[in-house]
Every structure is written in structure tokens, then in C-alpha cells.
Amino acid sequence: MLTIEPIKAVLGATVRGIDLTQEMDAPAFARILRALGRYGVLRFPDQQLNVGDVQRFSELFGEIQGSISRQPDPDKLEHPNVGILSNLRQDGRYIGSPDAGQDWHTDMSYRDVMGFVNVLYGIRIPRRNGKPLGGTEFANMHAVYDALPDDVRTRLDGMTATHDFEKFWENMRQNHGSTRPALTEEQRMRRPPVVHPVFLTHPITGRKVLYANPGYTIRINELPRDESDAMLDFLFEFQLRPQFRWTHDWTENDLLIWDHLGTIHRAIADYGPDEIRLIRRCQVMATKVFDPAFLRPVRELAMAEAN
């Protein structure tokens, strides 16, 4: 029996009573979608999933984005869009991305079709003295918007921001010791800067969220440069206040899905090169969630429960 248990934090819930190797019926998926909008992050513990299971579940939510580095899972070439996050080396090379996400950001805010969800499946989790390492920390952008000063909400209403993939990439290279190479001109052309609203109406909840993040947002377009810089500094500090944040501590066989529209996140790099972290990942684009037909079962579920 499917149950959704809030974790009594600013976001997050645990989903039990469902086997993600099996096909999901429409009522169960509607409950999961609604919970994703409400809680931002959903944990499905004790799942025994192969790479195809991870892809099939991810595709329920939208189209999976491929890697800009074109680095597929070497053991599962039939699933090239299921990536690997790992510091594990084989034949002198990392089998996946060793340093992905190690600063605050929202995946795919740099795309014209923005990101909807990330789906991560934990295979190997590093531990030290029995404590899990390599957690994922989140901040709740519904709560951030609601808490913003009224004058800031009024001033920024209707404004847009530019998001640039290269900002995060270069930050990792220059400030976090990443060995990733500089982007090529061809890669820059595949990830040009894009513009999105500063305040986004969330398609599931119908509520406003702050859609700006330190990783990719470079400019509020309707403000002069100095005012934009000052406002972004304020927003980036405000959204990371402790009352908006929560950390997921990983366990093997956790499947974690989170909503990019209503959260920002970062990977916590508190483990060493010999403390192995191995996670499969799908980055899912918002190719379905803004379609009213896709969300109709969620609306019907809410109406049925209200009656």
C-alpha cells in the first residue's frame, strides 16, 4: 500500500509501499506527482533497481537530458542518458562525474526547456565511523518566496533573469579544484545563456517560487548591472538561510527524486578519494509538467479528496 510520510522538515517525504521495478498505475503516479510539488524531495528506500528501471521511472516525468560531455555509462551503452556520479576509477579514469553538483544550483535552469526533476539511485555510499558521507542538501524555494520582504517581491514581480551554464562550470574549475577542462566553443553553442522569470508559478502547486540560483543565474535583466548584482547577492544569501534547508543522508538502494522548480541543491563533498560514492542519475527536463493534460490526474485527485 502506497504511503507518503513527510519527514517533518522544511521539505522532504518518504514514499513506501511501491516497487519501482513494476509498472505504476495512474492513481499512484498522481499521488507521487502531487507529493513532489508539495514536499520537493521524495525518497523511495530499499529499491532494487537496474539501469533500465532508473531510466523507465525517470521517463514518466519527461525527457531525459543527455550529458554535454557525451560520457555514457560504459557498462550500459543501451542507456546512454543514465549517467554516473562517482569518484571510482577504472583503468586510471573516472567511471562517471566525480565532482558534479558541489555548489548550490538548480539543474538545467540554463536550458530553454528548464529542468523538472533529478532522479538519483544510490549504489555505493561512503561512510566514516558508521556515518554516511556525500549527502545532498536542499533549500525550499516555495518557502523562500513566501518569506521574501514584500518590497522585494513587488520590485521583482514580472522581471526575468539570465542563466548561463558556463558560470557553474568555471566556478568548479576555478574555485573547487575540478579537473574538468574548459568548455569548448562547440559545447558553449550547445548551452547558450537563456532567460526565465525570476518568480515562477509552480505548475503542480500553483504557488510562486523564486527561480534564481547561485550556480547559473548571472543577471536580472530589467535592472542596471550594479543593482542586479546587489539584488542577486541578496537573493542568494536569503535562500540559503538555515530555516529553508534540509540534508538527505544517503543509504544504499535509496532512489531520490527532487523537483528543480521548487528547490535548489548541492552535493556535499565530505568524503575522500578512497571513500567511494557511486550513484546513477537522470536529469529530466520539463517537457511534460507544464502540459495541463499531464497534471489533470493530480487536479482530479485533489478535487476528490476535497469532496
Q: How far apart are CA 230 and CA 266, in angstroms?
A: 23
How are beta strands 89-90 and 115-124 bridged, if at all?
unpaired
pTM (2 d.p.): 0.92
- pLDDT for position 73: 47
- pLDDT for position 165: 84
- pLDDT for position 208: 98
For domain 3-306, give the CATH superfamily: Clavaminate synthase-like (3.60.130.10)
- pLDDT for position 167: 83
- Of 8, 7, 12, the residue nearest 41 (C-alpha): 12
- pLDDT for position 184: 80
Please state at what angle helix 26-39 crosses helix 292-306, rounded to 10 degrees.
90
Identify the band that residue 174 occupies on the pLDDT scale cut at 50, 70 and 90: low
Instruction: Take residue 170 and report the three cell numbers written for it.
Output: 568555471
- pLDDT for position 182: 76
DSSP sequence for 56-89: HHHHTTSPEEPPTT----TT-TT-TTSEEEE--E
Residue ranges of domains in the chain: 3-306
Q: How far apart are CA 264 and CA 240, in angstroms?
A: 9
Q: Is the pLDDT of residue 59 over 90?
A: yes
Q: What is the pLDDT of residues 13-51, one digit of tens each?
A: 999 999 999 999 999 999 999 999 999 999 999 999 999
- Of 207, 251, 239, 14, the residue nearest 138 (C-alpha): 239
- pLDDT for position 70: 47
